Amino acid sequence: MTLRGATRLREELKRLKTVDRPTVIKAIAEARSHGDLSENAEYHAAREQQSFIEGRILDIENRLSNAEIIDVTKLPANGRVVFGATVELEDQSGGVSVRYQLVGDDEADIKQGLLSVSSPIARALIGKSEGDVVDVTTPGGTRSYEIVSVRYV
């Protein structure tokens, strides 16, 4: 997991514990005050929300305790594609440039340019250097990309 991914998870964990959990506890107390719990939809909704929050807290704590956190800025800058590197690629067939950071599966978000290290493109890029041309087999067919730059930010 990258340092940024771990920071984001820690922030979510803090929010869940300091904001969301107390809010749902208040909602449960309020719903209880309305009387009969067996037919109280507000109570059941609040309990379901509490269950989700507690599950998410456990999931995040487990991920953080088992994660190996890598600070990308401390990686040796030798121009090779490694976990955490930001890679600029140029599609050989269309000349379109794209930029991805290779991150763990939990952090991946293609819309933000965060590419899972286990994706076909990332697996093809790992170990390659600037200037290399990489052929990537995707569901849409084989595509060729040139590695324009590799950064560690």
Domain boundary at 15, 42, 66, which?
A: 66
Q: Starting at the edge strand that comes first in sequence, how are the strands of the sheet with 114-116 ordered?
A: 114-116, 97-103, 86-91, 141-151, 133-138
H helices present in the chain, as ranges: 3-15, 21-32, 41-66, 120-125
Report the CATH number at residue 123: 3.10.50.30
Q: Note whether 78 and 113 are same-domain residues.
A: yes
Report the CATH number at residue 33: 1.10.287.180
Tokens representing 94 are 């269309």
What's the confidence (pLDDT) of residue 107? 87
Residue 81 CA: distances (Å) to CA of 33, 36, 39, 70: 59, 61, 58, 14
What's the confidence (pLDDT) of residue 131? 86
Torsion angles phi and psi, residue 100, rounded to 5: -130, 145
Tokens representing 150 are 């590799």
Tokens representing 82 are 């490694």
Sign of CA dihedral 70, 76, 80, 86: positive
Q: Note whether 49 and 87 are same-domain residues.
A: no
What's the confidence (pLDDT) of residue 12? 93
Amino acid present at 9: L
Domain boundary at 34, 50, 66, which?
A: 66
What's the confidence (pLDDT) of residue 20? 94
What's the confidence (pLDDT) of residue 87? 92
Between CA 84 and CA 146 the distance in angstroms is 19
* SS3 label, residue 150: strand
Q: How many domains does the chain have?
A: 2
Confirm if 86 and 151 have CB atoms less than 8 A apart: yes
What's the confidence (pLDDT) of residue 77? 64
pTM (whole model) above 0.85: no
Confirm if 96 and 90 have CB atoms less than 8 A apart: yes
For the chain, list residues with pLDDT below 70: 77
Domain that holds residue 99: 72-151
Q: Note whether 57 and 85 are same-domain residues.
A: no
